[in-house]
Amino acid sequence: MNQHDWKQLSRIFDMVLTLPPEGRTDYIKRVCGDDKELEKKIREMLGQLEESDRFFEERLGKNEKLIQELDALIAEQNDTDDYFEGKKIGRWDIQELIGHGGMGRVYKVQRVDESGIKQTGALKVIHKSLLTPSHMERFRLEQHILSGLQHPNISGFVDSGITADRVPYMVMEYVAGENILEYCNNRKLPVEDRLKLFITVCKAIQYAHNSLIIHRDLKPDNILVTQEGRIKILDFGIAKLMDPNLYENSAIETQPGMRMLSLEYASPEQIAGKMVTTSTDLYSLGILLSKLLTGLHPFDLNKLSYKEVEKLLLEVDPPLVSKRFQGLSKSELRKQLAEERDTSVSELTGTLKGDLDAIIYKSLHNDPERRYGSVEALITDLERHQNSLPVSARPDTFGYRSRKFVRRNRWAIAAAAMIFIVLTGGIAATMWQAKQAEQNAREAEQVSAFLAQIFDGSDPNRANDGSMTARELLDQGYERALNELEDEPLLQAQILSMIGNIYSNLGLYEPSYQAISRSVELFQQERERSPRLA
**Residues labelled catalytic:** 217
Q: Residue 310: how many CB atoms within 10 A of its CB?
A: 19
Name the amino acid, one letter, at 242: M
Q: DSSP per residue over 309-333, as a string?
A: HHHHHHH-PPPPHHHHHHT-S-HHH
Half-sphere exposure of 97 (CA within 13 A, CB side): 13
Q: Select from 24, 242, 262 the least CA-distant residue to 145.
A: 242
Name the amino acid, one letter, at 179: N
Name the amino acid, one letter, at 533: L
- Rounded to a whole number, what is the distance in angstroms from the first to the last CA of the chain? 83
Angle at CA 270, nearest 5°, toward 251 and 53? 100
Torsion of CA 401, 404, 409, 415, to 10 degrees: 80
Q: How many residues does the chain have?
A: 534
Contacts of 232 (CB under 8 A, 6+ apart): 153, 154, 155, 173, 175, 177, 223, 224, 225, 226
CA distances from 12 to 9, 33, 71, 260, 371 (A): 5, 12, 12, 12, 30
Residue 161 CA, chain-centre distance (Å), reads 44
H runs (alpha helix) in 340-469 = 345-352, 355-363, 375-386, 398-408, 410-455
Query: Quick one: CA dihedral 212, 218, 224, 229, positive or negative?
Result: positive
What is the C-alpha to C-alpha distance for residues 124 and 119, in angstroms, rounded to an integer? Answer: 16
What is the C-alpha to C-alpha distance for residues 346 and 337, in angstroms, rounded to an integer? Answer: 12
What is the C-alpha to C-alpha distance for residues 523 and 530, in angstroms, rounded to an integer? Answer: 9
Provide the β-strand partners of residue 250.
none
Provide the β-strand partners of residue 121.
109, 173
The phi-psi region of residue 173 (left if phi > 0; otherwise alpha if psi is between -120 and 50; otherwise beta) is beta
